[in-house]
Each structure stands twice: as C-alpha cells, then as structure tokens.
Amino acid sequence: MNKMNIWLVIVPLVMFAMLTVFVLAGITVRFEGWAYSETVEHISPIMTSVVKVITHIGDPAAVITICLILFFIPKSRMTIALPISAAVIISALLNVILKDIFARERPNILRLINETSYSFPSGHAMINSTLYTMLILLIIRFIKNKPMKMALAIACVMLTIAIGFSRVYLGVHYAGDVLGGWLIGFVIAFIVYSIWLGKPRNLKRFTKN
C-alpha cells in the first residue's frame, strides 16, 4: 500500500474506535434517538413495505446470490468474484466476533422485523458496505465508459445507504450500529482489494485465467 491507501485504512479504523468508545459510554444515545425520530417521521404501511424490500436486498441470501452470479461469469471469477467473496466472508465472520465482544443489545423500540443477535456493529451495514465498496473499486478499475462507471458507482453507494437506513427505520439497529458497520466494511473491502488486485503483476496473472 502507498501512503494514501494506508490513510484510507487508518482513518476509518480510528473513527470506528472513537465511535465504539462513544457507543459504549452512552455518548451517542441522544444522537441515535434523534436519528431514529427523523428516520421514522414519515412512517406508513407503504413506506414500511418498501423498506422491508430494501433490507432484504441486504440479507445474507441476497449477498450470497450476488457472489454466486459473479462466479457463473467465467471472466469475472478470479478478478471479481473471488476477491469480493473473500471480502464478504471476512466481513461476516468479523461481524460475529465484534458483536460478541461488544454485546450491545438491540434498540428497545418498535421493531418491525425480528432480529435476535447483538446490535453493534450492524451486520447488514458492514457486509453490504464491504460488498458494494469492493464493487465500486472494481468498477473504477475495469469499466472504461465514464458515464456507466459513474452510474454504477452511485447505484452502489445509494444501495449501501438505503440498506443502512432500513435497519434504523425497522427498529433493529441504532444509527451508531450502522455507522460502525459502514466504517469497518469499507476498511475490509479496501484491504482485500489492495492485497488482491493492488499489484499489477497479480492483476495480469488473474486476468489471463
């Protein structure tokens, strides 16, 4: 990694560490209460139905399906499917570990869906942040058409935000959980991307397969 790449890992990690301290100390309670109030300000049956669809887009089954689809495309197996799948697996395993370490209970508010695990960091936010950050990085590397590159990258960002929003709206996560998930998900994606495709000779070898 060059210095810029290192900072893109260090800064989110420091932010996550600070957020974790604030969450455990209860400093984020007021902010998270405000974020929830703003999120559900326009709650309605139709809105809830839409948000449930969005949150299911970020479910493990949906993420696994995306990875499998990439594996079915021969030219994308080594350059796209494998690094993305590796990053997603690492993200999922680390999320379980972090949740057990911090053991934060889920919000004691109106829950519109059932969830049973701990709350911090959000698994949906973390895993989908990893997935879509990886996709953005690979889109930037492989797609030459600038309008298409921009459109796909924006779509990935919007999906990540929408999935995180859905977790707060549905009452199964605090905003701090989602922010923490986004930060760690980004770090995992960037580290895996840098290791897997960061060196030109690796990219050349994988492209030939």
Which class for 92: exposed (0-12), middle (13-18), buried (19 or more C-beta within 10 A)? middle
Which class for 34: exposed (0-12), middle (13-18), buried (19 or more C-beta within 10 A)? exposed
pLDDT at 207: 43
The predicted-structure confidence for 63-105, as pLDDT tens digits, reads as follows 999 999 988 888 777 788 999 999 999 999 999 999 999 999 9
Q: How far apart are CA 163 and CA 63, in angstroms?
A: 12
Quick check: 128 and 106 in contact, CB under 8 A?
A: no
Q: At 90, phi and psi to the nearest 5?
A: -60, -45
pLDDT at 74: 80
Task: Report cis status (omega within 30 of 0) of the bond before 121.
Answer: yes
**Widest Cα–Cα separation across the chain:** 53
Name the band, by pLDDT with cuts 50, 70 and 90, for residue 209.
very low
- Report pTM: 0.90
